[in-house]
Amino acid sequence: MTTKKINISINGFPAQVKPGITILDAASDNGIIIPTLCYHKDLCVAGNCRVCVVEVAGQKRLSAACATPCEEGMEILTNSLKVRNSRKHIIELLLSEHNADCTKCYRNGNCELQELASEYKIMTQDFIELLPYKTYSVDMYSPSIIKDDSKCIRCQRCVRTCAELQGVNALTVAHKGDHMKISTFMEKAMNAVVCTNCGQCINHCPTGALVEKNYIEEVWEAIANPSKHVVVQTAPAVRIGLGEELGFEPGSRNTGKMVSALKRLGFDSVLDTDFTADLTIIEEGTELLTRLKKALVDKDADVKLPMATSCSPGWIKYIEHMYPEYLDNLSTCKSPQQMFGALVKTYYAKARNLEPDKIVSVSIMPCTAKKFEANRPEMFDSGYRDVDYVLTTRELAIMIKQAGINFKALEESKFDRLMGESTGAGVIFGATGGVMEAALRTAYEIVTGREVPFKNLEIAPVRGMEGVREASIKIENPKPEWKFLDGVELKCAVAHGLVNAKTVMDSVKKGTASYHFIEIMACPGGCLGGGGQPIPTSPEIRQKRAEAIYAEDSHMQIRKSHENPEVQKLYRDFLKEPLGEISHKLLHTKYLPRERF
Amino acid sequence: MATSYQLKRADFIFKNENDWEQVLGKILSQNPQDLINELISSELKGRGGAGFPTGLKWKVAAEQPSDTKYVICNADEGEPGTFKDREILQRVPYKVLTAMVACAHVIGAREGFIYLRNEYWFLRNELEKVIDEFEYYCKEINLEFKIKVFMGSGAYICGEETALFESMEGKRGEPRNKPPYPTTWGYLGKPTVINNVETLAHTYTIFKYGAKKFYDLGVQYSRGTKLFSVSGDTPKPGIYELELGMSLQDFVYEFGDGDTKAVQVGGASGFLVPRKKFADTAIGYQGKLTGISLPTGGSMMLFNSSRSMYNVLDNYLEFFREESCGQCTPCRVGCQQLLIGIKAVKRAEKPASYLDKLLRLTETMQYTAKCGLGQSVANSFSSIVENFREEMIY
């Protein structure tokens, strides 16, 4: 059915648009860009920055284009003198309240306010600077996020992100009038509230008010120190995001160039987190099957199902705060980053004949919560801090730029060995549903001896961007030792974005869902939309990144975790068996109930 | 000059008639469409200050297909210099409640609220007693309608209708984007009629005596009477019910102390009128054919020659700077800039011409602010700065 279009005019030119469409979208469809600040495609419309105001013929007041629907016969002016003057005033006002010391700002060069000021050529500051009238302090307490109120323009994108995408509500609006600011519960520091460190607020902040805590200098220092052996691991989502910071379109695959760049930066060994992603699948898959056996055969009432994945540190902190009674449902597996860290200072050190205290372990993550995770007191199982520094995709791009590397012109290289081999199953950890798909590929084969019954191993039901996805696989004709699973329909759920995690957990809590296994990623789209990924983010960009991740997978020769030869070697030489004694010491962890505020 | 004295006192609102059961019975026996027509022909406009036609508001809400609708009485009287709603709720609460039941009957609402300003907590007990009487009455006649008192928390902005809804929904009191308007998307996203206390009280008069009686009072575009909260340099501060359309000159003859320099019409968000413009200014809604016509929520503040207009403006701006909800840029930052700006001019840190820049800023605020608060800061600022520029500078 085609809906009737309505007639409007934009700047004197007639246009036909869908009824109910906002002026902003109508203009965009007709080739007119209206500037915005508080508007974000991921979020509900706020209409509070007023930068997008336009003139509608017959109305004295201007209308916010983002919040005003088009009506039949509307004559819209997006660039009249009245609009221009007002818009300029608003930008000037924002600047007068803003710490505009741009050269000292982390977001210098990638700031929406700066861009707008440049576009409108605001060369003078006519209004009185308001910063001297305010008492702002920078909140540096969180290991992941720095919050600087002096750079905040009160667009509330972070508040809406925290509420709508994540359902966490760590960030909120406090006070009114000139004292109005973005704050936390009781104005506590960011490390003392429910914040999950997911960093989505950073991804959605138009200015430098919210940025990651960066460890670039520390890493440069380690690299420069000749007595240190600096190992770097790179997460799956980094290779498909990094290019966006370095001149590529979203969805570009740059694994080979990234490895070359890391080698040129001076890391002693460039390795792959995908390797421990594969390892996670073995451990976690075995854990799931063990739990199922205990529940179905031994009728052990203490076994907790559904089992939930534990790869996403934002999700871990969320469940610790919000559903502490379900901590036993979490897989005890550490995240791939932390498994990697623990192995680097044990297995890798031994194999390469290095003193563990001479090793500096760096990880490149699409994530800010990983900075918090590496800092957790449980993450010292190797006897040392398992992961010393966590950098985001953005920080790596900064290092590459600082080193003067022409990324586009780089040749492709391969990861170093040991712990550099990975499979397609490891790569798809970067997309929502990826862990589930990888786990099913392996678990199904362990149980039945056959490949999962999906074309090209692509388990379509768990792919996609739907907030919560459900899938089930019926197990038929299993191997004799898995006889008890014959005819069992393995029920799975996949959720991304913590607000969807809440939906899943609430249905588990109410007992309306009977899942065996759930995968939850804290960020929209999974790690590829992580809080450490290039800015901007949007549903379209995340879609392209997801396509790139799945393309990586389909181009891999080995696509099942249990077939990773290096993982097999690791078990032969070091771990002996999944969930064995060494595994328990190095690869598994425990969780901590936390307060709900 | 006294020959032109034309101030027409009236006494409807506070006339204690104790006949609400009779009036309400008559109202409920009529069909909603007739009641809407009655209201429309009375030309009653919202008495909170914005002046939206009340009949039209009820009509639009009545036409909405929703099962759930709400009637809300806005008793968050916060405009500096108004204190009339308090008196109404104290002296004739039954008129307001009658009107709420009437509105519920007209639009098909089963629930109503009185959003009571936090500082009026002392009215609550008495009010709830009267509500009990009404609920008993409704039960007797099988009309399903409940009324609750909702206490505000003290923010000026929550008098703005959509911020009021947000506040009632347990959220931060911040105005919403409009459209949609409350009649289609109000409290909890349901069609809602929200009227000022005084507006509701006037409908009692209209339904009791008929629209004609009301319509015959006042002048064209500004029909009926209005309560005025008179304060400032006046020998007789208080609340007065007057016919609309009077000239400000007449008002000052009646209430001035003989030395009136200026009158602030409509509180901090209204206009300041200097002495030389008294005769040309009428008090009523916009659309009057001749002269300047100023709408008001009822606040009339008189200032005599001992008052510094700079201090008056400084006081208003401090109020706005604090009471802006802070969400939209023009209002939050604009109010700060205006206040700091006039201080800077006064201290000669900025040239006098900076006032012109600030005047242009108020224009932008008027065009672009999200709600009535930010839009109306321009009113007092420009009328004071334009008429008393020298007081701002020296």
Report the sign of the C-alpha dihedral through residues A415, A421, A425, A426, in that order: negative
Q: Does A178 touch chain B (CB under 8 A)?
A: yes
Please determine whether the domains at A6-79 and A227-275+337-409 fall in the same fold group of CATH: no
Minimal Cβ distance to A177: which of B321, B350, B369: B321
Residue B1 domain flag: no
Domain that holds residue B222: 218-257+264-303
CA angle centred on A519, ends A517 and A522, rounded to 5°: 150
| Alpha-carbon span A591 to B92, nearest angstrom | 62
- Are B380 and B323 contained in the same domain? yes
- Are B104 and B253 contained in the same domain? no
Tell me: pLDDT of B1 over 60: no
Tell me: pLDDT of B220 over 90: no
Please give the pLDDT value at position B255.
97
Choose among B185, B195, B200: nearest CA to B13. Answer: B200
Kindly report the CATH number assigned to the domain that includes residue B168.
Answer: 3.40.50.11540
Instruction: Give B-chain residues touching A45 at CB under 8 angstroms.
Output: 177
φ/ψ of residue B112, rounded to 5:
-135, 155
Please give the pLDDT value at position B221.
87
Instruction: Give B-chain residues touching A81 at CB under 8 angstroms.
Output: none
Instruction: Give A-chain residues touching B184 at CB under 8 angstroms.
Output: none
Kindly indicate the confidence band of residue B289, based on its pLDDT and cuts at 50, 70 and 90: very low
Contact assignment for B330 to A90 by CB distance below 8 Å: yes
What are B146-182's pLDDT values in tens digits?
A: 999 999 999 999 999 999 999 999 999 999 999 999 9
B-chain residue closest to A173, CA distance: B172
- Are B198 and B317 contained in the same domain? no
Please give the pLDDT value at position B16.
86
CATH class of the domain comprising A281-334+424-586: alpha beta
Residue B143 domain flag: yes
Tell me: pLDDT of B113 over 80: yes
From A55's Cα to the closest Cα of chain B, the distance in A is: 9
Please give the pLDDT value at position B287.
56
Please list the active-site residues of A.
Answer: 284, 287, 311, 331, 370, 373, 378, 527
Please give the pLDDT value at position A149.
96
Report the sign of the C-alpha dihedral through residues B306, B311, B317, B318, in that order: negative
B-chain residue closest to A95, CA distance: B333
What are B231-286's pLDDT values in tens digits?
A: 999 999 999 999 998 999 999 999 999 999 999 999 999 999 999 999 989 998 87
What six digits make up the tokens of A442? 């392996």
Contact assignment for B332 to A64 by CB distance below 8 Å: no
Please give the pLDDT value at position A30.
96
DSSP letter, residue A588: B
From A49's Cα to the closest Cα of chain B, the distance in A is: 5
Minimal Cβ distance to B368: which of A53, A69, A153: A53
- Domain A95-212 in CATH 3.90.1150.10: no
Kindly report the CATH number assigned to the domain that includes residue B275.
Answer: 3.10.20.600
- Are B193 and B48 contained in the same domain? yes
Cis peptide bond prior to A534, omega within 30° of 0: no
Please give the pLDDT value at position A513.
87
- Among the CATH numbers 3.40.50.1780, 3.40.190.290, 3.65.10.10, 3.30.200.20, which is that of A227-275+337-409? 3.40.50.1780
Tell me: pLDDT of B386 over 80: yes
What are the mean pLDDT values of chain A's consecutive 10-residue runs (597 residues total)?
A: 85 95 97 97 96 97 97 97 97 96 96 96 92 94 97 97 96 95 95 96 98 97 97 97 96 97 97 96 95 91 94 97 97 97 96 96 98 96 95 98 97 94 95 96 94 93 95 93 92 97 96 94 97 97 97 94 96 95 96 91
In chain B, the number of structural domains is 3
Instruction: Give A-chain residues touching B368 at CB under 8 angstroms.
Output: 50, 53, 61-62, 86, 89-90
**Ramachandran region of residue A173, left (φ > 0), alpha (ψ -120 to 50) or beta?**
beta
Q: Give mean pLDDT, residues B12-22.
A: 91
Kindly report the CATH number assigned to the domain that includes residue B370.
Answer: 1.20.1440.230
Residue with tokens 């519960």: A185
Last residue of a domain, one of B153, B187, B215: B215
Residue B184 domain flag: yes
| Alpha-carbon span A218 to A3, nearest angstrom | 58
What are B30-57's pLDDT values in tens digits?
A: 999 999 999 999 999 999 888 899 999 9
- Are B101 and B140 contained in the same domain? yes
Q: Does A60 touch chain B (CB under 8 A)?
A: yes
Q: Does A86 touch chain B (CB under 8 A)?
A: yes
- Are B119 and B209 contained in the same domain? yes
Q: What ipTM was estimated for this complex?
A: 0.94
Please give the pLDDT value at position A2.
63
Tell me: pLDDT of B2 over 60: no
Residue B385 domain flag: yes
- Are B363 and B223 contained in the same domain? no
Kindly indicate the confidence band of residue B365, based on its pLDDT and cuts at 50, 70 and 90: very high
| B6 against A573, higher pLDDT | A573
- Are B196 and B71 contained in the same domain? yes
Residue with tokens 């768990």: A462
Residue ranges per structural domain of chain A: 6-79, 95-212, 227-275+337-409, 281-334+424-586
Contact assignment for B340 to A64 by CB distance below 8 Å: no
Q: What is the share, in percent, of chain B residues with pLDDT greater than 70?
A: 97
Residue B195 domain flag: yes
- Are B289 and B325 contained in the same domain? no
Instruction: Give A-chain residues touching B286 at CB under 8 angstroms.
Output: none
Q: Does B281 touch chain A (CB under 8 A)?
A: no
Residue B95 domain flag: yes
Q: Does B356 touch chain A (CB under 8 A)?
A: no
Q: Does B328 touch chain A (CB under 8 A)?
A: yes
- Are B94 and B237 contained in the same domain? no
Please give the pLDDT value at position B286.
72
- Are B296 and B195 contained in the same domain? no
Residue A177 near residue B154 (C-beta atoms within 8 A): no
Architecture label for domain A6-79: Roll (3.10)
- Are B284 and B336 contained in the same domain? no
Please give the pLDDT value at position A539.
97
From B372's Cα to the closest Cα of chain A, the distance in A is: 11
**Three-state SS sequence of B287-348:** CCCCCEEECCCCEEEEEECCCCHHHHHHHHHHHHHHHCCCCCHHHHHHHHHHHHHHHHHHCC
Mean pLDDT over the full length of chain B:
94
- Which residues are paired to B74 by β-bridges? B115, B196
A-chain residue closest to B345, CA distance: A128
